[in-house]
Amino acid sequence: MLRVGVNGYGTIGKRVADAVAAQPDMEVAGVAKTTPNFEAEAAHRRGYPVHAAREDRRDAFDDAGVPVAGDLDDLVVESDIVVDCTPAGIGAENRAVYERHDTPALYQGGEDADVADASFNARANYDEVAASDAEHVRVVSCNTTGLSRVLAPLDEQYGVEKARATLVRRGGDPSQPDRGPINDILPDPVTVPSHHGPDVNTVLPDLAVDTMGVTVPATLMHLHSVNVTLETEAEAAAVAETLTDESRVFLVPGDARVAGPAHLKEYAQDAGRPRGDLWENCVWAESIAVEGRDLYFFQAIHQESDVVPENVDAIRAVCTDTEAAESVVETNRALGVGFGESEETRRVAADGEGAAASADD
């Protein structure tokens, strides 16, 4: 069993901890928090050992009645790998702690790419990261994850001459009342490209991609308007089949009458998803259109959860000899990723990789 420490127990950290706990080959060594707030109390109730990320805050945990298992150094020592889910910029500061104890670490997409030895997306470059022996790996951001999941198979199947995406981004998560705008629509950034295109190139270095960003007063999800010039012509139905075969892409059927992210969140909640999470890209099937070699579609990305399965796969890529397809199937099965069994799952099961894991699907 891999012992995984989670440093930071906020929007991403609590989801990563639960995802790790669900895996048959992993366990949560503990979580680190700076403040004994409601999330720290929730971690304790879930049975995760809570560590004080800062020694000078330890008394505050005692005062709040949250038992403290140790400090951050203790958690790092007890872990085979640490997943850093702290706010952007803090992960870079924490790298020295992980290095001091010779403990591998994962970082989130809010960090600059140079915080790590490699950036990671399971669909784009699992094998490359696994073969590199990198011990400090950055899981790319929610938007970059979403773009990589669709651009990688499109490039493999048809070739991508140029990809362009406009990212309509939520102003803040539901738990971030200090974010905005309250009543505006902001080019963010006003310069082109936004950082997302270059970030895609950290996992798909040969792909030509440009991105533009817009921030709106919403909290639910991001919405991408994607245009891809393919190297070969394709029919819309064939593209839909290509995307359907991706286990972390959900083609939203037209008869579901899903108008937007609000309906998608309701869809996830009705499906019994924890916290209403959508780990998959949500691509509207009816939006897929092709004119010549130009492909168009809309997709929605749940910023709170789509990187969670990627973190689990990155743990295996860094710490084990598990192959990409086997890890993806195992992660998906443990979490319940996929509103329907994908061709990828069927193919891996048929090949014998993860067949036992797929038996209950």
Q: In the predicted model, is pLDDT for residue 343 greater than 90?
A: no
Q: In the predicted model, is pLDDT for residue 126 greater than 60?
A: yes
- pLDDT at residue number 360: 36
- pLDDT at residue number 14: 98
- Which residue has tokens 């706010």? 87
Q: What's the mean per-residue pLDDT of the chain?
A: 93
- pLDDT at residue number 55: 86
- pLDDT at residue number 359: 32
| pLDDT single digits (tens) 4-20 | 999 999 999 999 999 99
Burial 280-298 (b: 16+ CB within 10 A, else e): bbbbbbbbbebeebebbbb
| pLDDT single digits (tens) 197-241 | 999 999 999 999 999 999 999 999 999 999 999 999 999 999 999
- pLDDT at residue number 342: 41
| pLDDT single digits (tens) 246-266 | 999 999 999 999 999 999 999
Percent of the chain with pLDDT strictly greater than 70: 94
Mean pLDDT of 116-121: 98
- pLDDT at residue number 340: 55
Backbone φ and ψ for 179, nearest 5 degrees, come out as: -90, 165
Mean pLDDT of 184-193: 96
DSSP for 234-292, written as a single string: --HHHHHHHHHT-TTEEEE-GGG---SHHHHHHHHHHTT-GGG---SEEEEGGG-EEET
Percent of the chain with pLDDT strictly greater than 90: 91
Q: In the predicted model, is pLDDT for residue 116 greater than 60?
A: yes
| pLDDT single digits (tens) 143-170 | 999 999 999 999 999 999 999 999 999 9
Mean pLDDT of 52-64: 92
- pLDDT at residue number 353: 38
**Does 142 qualify as catalytic in the annotation?**
yes
| pLDDT single digits (tens) 95-115 | 999 999 999 999 999 999 999
Residues present in the chain in total: 361
Q: From the candidates 85, 142, 282, 319, which is the catalytic residue?
A: 142
